[in-house]
Chain A
Amino acid sequence: MKTVREMLRDADPVRTEDGARDPDRDRLRETIVAAACRATLSESPQLSGSPSHSLSRRRVVVVAIAAAIVAGVAGIGPLIWSRGGATLQAAVRFEVRLAETQPGADLLEAGVTGSGTAIYLHREIVATNDDVARSRVVRSDDGSRFSIAVEFTPEGAEKMRHATADHLGRPVAILIDGSVVMAPVLRSPIDGSAVISGDFNEAEAQRIVNGIIKN
């Protein structure tokens, strides 16, 4: 003889379904963020009506603009995105590689600049300059720190998402001119953009931004 509560708990689908593996989650996330971008740009005719009719989850063509990495962007002031083509700049080599904290077969040991720690890089390069659509310098609130925001091309975003989705909880290395400038632990897959944070001075950050795009 069961109570209503006991019967509901027995029948509760949340207890039997694996919501954490919901395959639609990432797609839904991208849809939402893309909608936010369109709304911001006042280019959202699809959003003028009922969202359930105008932007069905099953019909939306997903535009991957999502910034999976927003952590570490504390107090960043908006600056202008740069294609870097207006001024001749020395090229900067940009790479993203998956990494491990422990040595292993076929991994390359590298030091993380300024940290004194070692990281072990996968040989395969996930993304390079060719996968970057835009980049910009971002400045902390107090003006003392400069970081670099990178927006990937659609192909680059897809590569990043694919490579990082199965690497959560492990590091990914960002290399500038062959040096590992940061090796953050992935909390969520990277897709549309990333922020390379660090103790860059303004000139250094601007040099990287201007040189990161191949012309």
Chain B
Amino acid sequence: MNGLTMATVLPADAPANPAERLSALFDAHYARLYRLARRLAPDADAARDLVQDTFLRAARAPASVPHGASSEEAWLVRVLINIRRDEWRRAAVRARHAPLVPDARAASDQESAVVARATIWRALDALPPRRRAVVVLHELEELAIPAIASLLGISAITVRWHLSAGRRDLARILRPQMGATDENR
């Protein structure tokens, strides 16, 4: 009896059992989804909730998740962004009445790199979730525009439009920190 090792790769065809399917999905995509969620959500707790809600959508209807790593990833990423968009819309009124970015002078007065970084990061909160996702995927995950288009299921033109608008919005908000920086660089 020569036991197979548990390190054996998963079978090419996904497990038929929903629990096994979800286990496999989670193991394959959790880290990637958490990174994206952390960059889309306001804080780590919100990011974890976002990832959980994404996988719960898959748990409710595992048959709707396409097979294949890239198709799974695209499905999960789109669901995650849609959930984040719903949250963002619900919070939109509150956000409109709150300052998006703390006073930069107040932050600099504290001379805290942590506060400065948080200030910059909060500028992303001004972007609608899909635009923010495009900016994050391109600027931080370094995905090419066609890859982002494929992942999000939108056209390359739309990706470019979101990227351009996102950079412009961020540059406007971050101008005090940037000085005379070229916003499109």
Q: Do A and B bind each other?
A: yes
List residues of A whose CB falls within 8 A of some B CB. 1-5, 7-14, 17, 19-20, 22, 24-25, 28-29, 31-33, 35-37, 39-40, 44, 47, 51-52, 55-57, 65-75, 78, 112-115, 172, 174, 181-188, 196-200
Choose one: B5, B48, B170, B174; the contact of A57 (CB below 8 Å). Answer: B48
- Asked if A36 and B120 make an inter-chain contact with CB atoms under 8 angstroms apart, the answer reads no
Flag if A51 contacts B56 (CB, 8 Å). yes
Sample of 20 further A-B pairs with CB below 8 A, known A14-B35, A72-B6: A1-B179, A3-B182, A7-B120, A8-B120, A8-B121, A13-B38, A14-B140, A28-B30, A29-B23, A32-B22, A37-B19, A39-B60, A70-B24, A71-B4, A71-B6, A74-B11, A113-B3, A184-B4, A184-B7, A186-B6
Give the residue name and chain of the B residue nearest to A53 (CB): B53
Chain B: which residue is nearest A12 at the CB level?
Answer: B140
Q: Once the chains bind, are A71 and B9 in contact (CB under 8 Å)?
A: yes
- Given contacts A10-B120, A44-B60, A187-B6, A4 and B1 within 8 Å (CB-CB): no
Query: Do the beta carbons of A4 and B167 come within 8 Å of each other?
Result: yes
* A212–B24 CA distance with the chains assembled, in angstroms: 27
A11 touches B2 (CB 8 A): no
* Chain B residues closer than 8 Å to A14, beta-carbon distance: 35, 38-39, 140
Query: Can you report 5 A-B residue pairs in the complex whose CB atoms are below 8 A from each other?
Result: A11-B121, A12-B140, A32-B52, A68-B23, A184-B7
Residues of chain B within 8 A (CB-CB) of A69 are 6
Residue on B nearest A169 in the bound complex, by CB:
B7
Whole-angstrom distance between the alpha carbons of A19 and B41 in the complex? 14
Residues of A within 8 A of B16 (CB): 78
- Taking CB atoms, residues of chain A closer than 8 Å to B91 are none
In the complex the two chains form, is B120's CB within 8 Å of A113's CB?
Answer: no
Question: What are the residues of chain B within 8 A of A72 when measuring CB–CB?
Answer: 4-6, 8
Q: Are A52 and B2 in contact (CB under 8 A)?
A: no
Contact of B139 among A9, A22, A39, A67 (CB under 8 A): A9
Most buried by B among A8, A52, A73: A8
Q: Are B51's CB and A36's CB within 8 A?
A: no
Cβ B6 vs Cβ A28 within 8 A: no
Report yes or no: B38 in contact with A32, Cβ–Cβ below 8 A: no
Chain B, Cβ-Cβ closest to A77: B16
Known A-B contacts A28-B51, A29-B30, A57-B49; A4 and B183 likewise in contact (beta carbons under 8 Å): yes
**Interfacial chain B residues near A11, Cβ < 8 Å:** 116-118, 120-121
Q: A33-B19, A37-B19, A199-B1 are in contact. Are A17 and B140 (CB under 8 A)?
A: no
Bound Cα distance A8, B52 (Å): 25
A15 to chain B, nearest CB (A): 9
Asked if A25 and B30 sit within 8 Å, CB to CB, the answer is yes
**B residues within 8 A CB of A1?**
178-181
CB < 8 Å neighbour of A187 from B2, B7, B48, B170: B7
The reply to whether the CB of B66 lies closer than 8 angstroms to some CB of chain A is: no
**Least distance between A96 CB and chain B CB atoms (Å):** 12
Query: Measured between C-beta atoms, what is the minimum distance from B150 to chain A in Å?
Result: 22
B147 at the interface (CB under 8 A from A): no
Q: Do B2 and A73 touch across chains, with their CB atoms under 8 A apart?
A: no
In chain B, positions 22-46 with a C-beta closer than 8 Å to chain A are 22-24, 26-27, 30-31, 34-35, 38-39, 44
Q: Are A184 and B10 in contact (CB under 8 A)?
A: no
